[in-house]
Amino acid sequence: MPLPDQDTMDPRLAMLVAEVMSQLPADLPALPSPWPAPGQSRAEWLAEVTAVRAAHDAPADVLAQLLPAAPPDAPTVSDREVEVEGGRITVRVYTPAGEGPFPALVYYHGGAWWLGGGFALTDLYCQRFCAALGSVVVNVDYRLAPESPYPQQLEDAYAALLWTVSSLRPTEVSVAGASSGGNLAAALCLLARDRGGPAIRSQLLHVPGLDLTLSSPSLRADPAVLPNLDGVRRLYSTDWENPYVSPLLATDLAGLPPAVIVTGRHDFLRDDGRRYAERLSEAGVPVVALEYPMLHNIALPETIETMVTEMTAALLALSR
C-alpha cells in the first residue's frame, strides 16, 4: 500500500501489487536467530538458518516477472572465485563486446543482508548495465548474515572491489547496489575513502536502506513495517549507529564519490535515500536523485524500463 503522505497510487500499480501479494505464501517461518540458541549446536543452527532462508527466498520467483528485459547484445559472462577472510566467494563477470580496457561497475545484490544469494534476480540488471555503460560488471555473491554478519559481509564487499581493481585493471571503478546492497555500496565508499582507496568513480544506490536506527519518517509511517525490519537488522548487526552499518549517520560525507540515488515514491525506505541525497549535496558531493512511482521492489514494466535507462544515463553523465 502507498505511504499515508503520498499521492494516490496508480490503479495499475495497485493491481500489480495486489497480484504479487496474492501469490506470496502467508505462512513463512519466523526469522532465524542471529546466533545459536542455548544448548543448540552451531551445526543445528546453520541447518535451521538454511531451511528458513530457503522458505523466504522462494517468493522471489514471484518477483522475477518484474525483471527488466534482456539487452539486445548479451555480454560475455564468466564466474570467478575471490578469496576473502575465512573462505571464498563467487563473482559473476559480465564483459561487453569490443577491445578493453573497460571501466568496471561492482554490483551488490539486495535481500536484507540474509537473502538473495546467487545471481537469479540480478543477472538481467547486470547484463543491462554492462550493455548500456560499456563497462565490465562484477556481480558479487557475498556471504550472508547471520552466518556472516557485519563486518564480515562488508569486508567481502571490499575484497571484491580490490579483486576487481587488481585482476581486471579497469580504467575506473564504480559501485552499485540495491536495498541492503545499496547499504553495502554506500558503506564501501566510506570504507574505501577511510582506508585510502581504491578510488571509486561513482556510486549507484537503488532503493537503499541507510539508517538502521529506523528513524526515517517513511519507515515510521506504517508501524507494521517496523517489527520485521527490527528482526532483519539484528541478523546483520546491533551496532546501528556505526557509520559503516548506517552510512546516513556518518558525521563526515566529504570526499565521497558522486552518487545516483534511486527512491520509490511508495517505498518504506524512501526517506533513507532522500535524506542521504540531501546530506551528500550539503557535503559538496554531486548527486543525481531519481524517484519513481513504485514500491520497494514492485513497479510497472514501463517504470522499470525508464528507471534502468535513466540510471545508466546518470552514471554515464557522472563518469564524464
Which of 6-15, 132-141, 185-194 shows the lowest per-residue confidence on average (mean pLDDT)? Answer: 6-15
- Closest of 146, 131, 237, 139 to residue 181, by C-alpha: 139
Residue 33 falls within a domain, yes or no? no
Q: Is 296 one of the annotated active-site residues of the chain?
A: yes
pLDDT in tens, 157-216: 999 999 999 999 999 999 999 999 999 999 999 999 999 999 999 999 999 999 999 999
Does residue 29 belong to any structural domain of this protein?
no
Going from the C-alpha of 31 to that of each of 88, 96, 109, 177, 221, the distances in angstroms are: 26, 40, 20, 23, 23
Q: Is 191 contained in some domain?
A: yes
Catalytic-residue membership of 174? no
65 near 123, Cβ under 8 Å?
A: no
CB-based burial, 145-166: b 16+ in 10 Å, e otherwise: bbbbbbbbbbbbbbbbbebbbe
- pLDDT at residue 4, as a whole number: 38
Query: From CA 114, how far away is CA 165, in angstroms rounded?
Result: 26
Phi and psi at 3, nearest 5°, equal -70, 150
Q: pLDDT tens digit string along 226-239?
A: 999 999 999 999 99
In a domain, 5, yes or no: no
Tens digit of pLDDT for each residue in 32-85?
A: 999 999 999 999 999 999 999 999 999 888 988 899 999 988 899 999 999 999
C-alpha cell at 227: 517489527
CA distance 261 to 275: 10
Bridge pairing between strands 104-108 and 173-178 = parallel
Considering the domain boundaries, does residue 160 fall inside one?
yes
Question: Has residue 1 got a pLDDT over 70?
Answer: no
> Which one of 141, 156, 211, 267 is the catalytic residue?
267
The pLDDT value recorded for residue 258 is 98
**180: phi then psi, degrees, rounded to nearest 5:** -65, -30
Q: How many domains does the chain have?
A: 1
For the segment 269-281, what is each residue's pLDDT rounded down to a tens digit?
A: 999 999 999 999 9
Classify residue 294: in a domain, yes or no: yes
Report the distance separating Cα 276 and Cα 253, nearest Å.
10
DSSP label at residue 122: T
Q: Which of 33, 123, 215, 296 is catalytic?
A: 296
Placement of cell 531451511 in the chain: 51
Assess if residue 6 is contained within a domain: no
Of 278, 236, 231, the C-alpha closest to 259 is 278
Check residue 142 and report its DSSP letter.
P
Instruction: Examine the residue annotation and report whether 281 is marked as an active-site residue of this protein.
Output: no
Task: Please state, in angstroms and as integers, the Cα–Cα distance from residue 228 to each residue in 7, 200, 235, 271, 278, following that order.
Answer: 25, 33, 11, 18, 27
Residue 37 near residue 46 (C-beta atoms within 8 A): no
- Say how far apart CA 251 and CA 236 lie, in whole Å: 22
Q: The domain containing residue 175 runs over which residues? A: 11-23+41-319
Predicted confidence (pLDDT) per residue in 71-111, tens digit: 988 899 999 999 999 999 999 999 999 998 999 999 999 99
Q: In terms of residues, how long is the chain?
A: 320
Do 258 and 203 form a contact (C-beta atoms < 8 A)? yes
Output the domain CATH number for residue 152: 3.40.50.1820
Q: What is the pLDDT of residues 148-172, one digit of tens each?
A: 999 999 999 999 999 999 999 999 9
- Name the catalytic one among 135, 148, 174, 179: 179
Flag whether 36 is in a domain: no
Beta-carbon contacts of residue 165 (< 8 Å; ≥ 6 apart):
104, 173, 198
Residue 128 exposure: Cα atoms within 13 Å on the Cβ side? 20
Predicted pLDDT of residue 7? 53
Contacts of 188 (CB under 8 A, 6+ apart): 108, 154, 157, 158, 161, 175, 200
Give kind and range of the element (H or E) at residue 88. Answer: strand 87-95
180-195 and 152-163 helices, crossing angle to 10°:
70
pLDDT at 2: 38
